[in-house]
């Protein structure tokens, strides 16, 4: 080991440093009631955003079938963007902010873009919402290897 401050750190020195300063934190799983409120709040937000954007672009004023199809496509796009952006950038959606919960990976790390996108897309699996009846987490949690926990920072 030299005294040169510009010498790269060796992997053994790095692992000793990590062992010294590694902090483990136990997170408490969010309750099913919190998860249900998250779902309700976020669904209302996405519907309002979809209607607002649809009216802004005038899609809701065209022929009825065409307007309905455009609003459905818009709803699905906003749904994916809403969850992906909020959960990746903040770990929370508006519903999670209200219930003081957050989403983490199963290893208790912040989400990667892959986790966030996968989690958002898995919500479109038929009967995903019903998967909570058969276990604590939904399919969009288990497939994307994520979980919702009570936020200890609020």
How high is the pLDDT of residue 40? 96
How high is the pLDDT of residue 120? 94
d(CA 103, CA 150): 9
- Mean pLDDT lowest among 71-75, 76-80, 114-118: 71-75
**Which residues does 127 contact at the CB level (< 8 Å), separation at least 6?**
none
Whether the pLDDT of residue 11 is over 50: the answer is no
Whether the pLDDT of residue 154 is over 70: the answer is no
What values do phi and psi take at 104, rounded to 5?
-135, 165
How high is the pLDDT of residue 134? 80
d(CA 104, CA 34): 16
- Mean pLDDT lowest among 11-20, 26-35, 105-114: 11-20
Task: Tell me the pLDDT band of 136, cut-offs 50, 70 and 90.
Answer: confident
Q: Spell out a b/e string for 30-68, using b for 16 or more CB atoms within 10 Å of the CB, else e.
A: beeebbebbbebbeebbeebbeebbeeeebbeeeeeeee
d(CA 118, CA 133): 21
> What value does the mean pLDDT take over residues 66-86?
86
Calculate the CA 92 to chain-centre distance.
6
- H or E element: which one contains 147? strand 146-150
Q: Which pTM value belongs to this model?
A: 0.74
> What value does the mean pLDDT take over residues 116-122?
94
């Amino acid at each position: 080991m030299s005294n040169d401050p510009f010498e790269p750190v060796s992997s053994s020195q790095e692992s000793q440093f990590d062992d010294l300063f590694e902090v483990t934190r136990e997170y408490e799983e969010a309750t099913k009631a919190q998860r249900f409120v998250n779902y309700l709040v976020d669904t209302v937000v996405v519907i309002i955003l979809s209607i607002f954007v649809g009216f802004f672009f005038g899609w809701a004023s065209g022929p009825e079938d065409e307007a309905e199809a455009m609003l459905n496509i818009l709803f699905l796009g906003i749904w994916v963007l809403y969850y992906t952006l909020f959960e990746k950038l903040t770990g929370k959606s508006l519903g999670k902010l209200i219930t003081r919960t957050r989403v983490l990976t199963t290893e208790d790390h912040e989400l990667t873009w892959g986790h966030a996108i996968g989690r958002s897309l898995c919500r479109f699996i038929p009967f995903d919402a019903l998967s909570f009846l058969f276990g604590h987490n939904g399919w969009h949690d288990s497939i994307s290897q994520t979980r919702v926990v009570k936020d200890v920072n609020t």
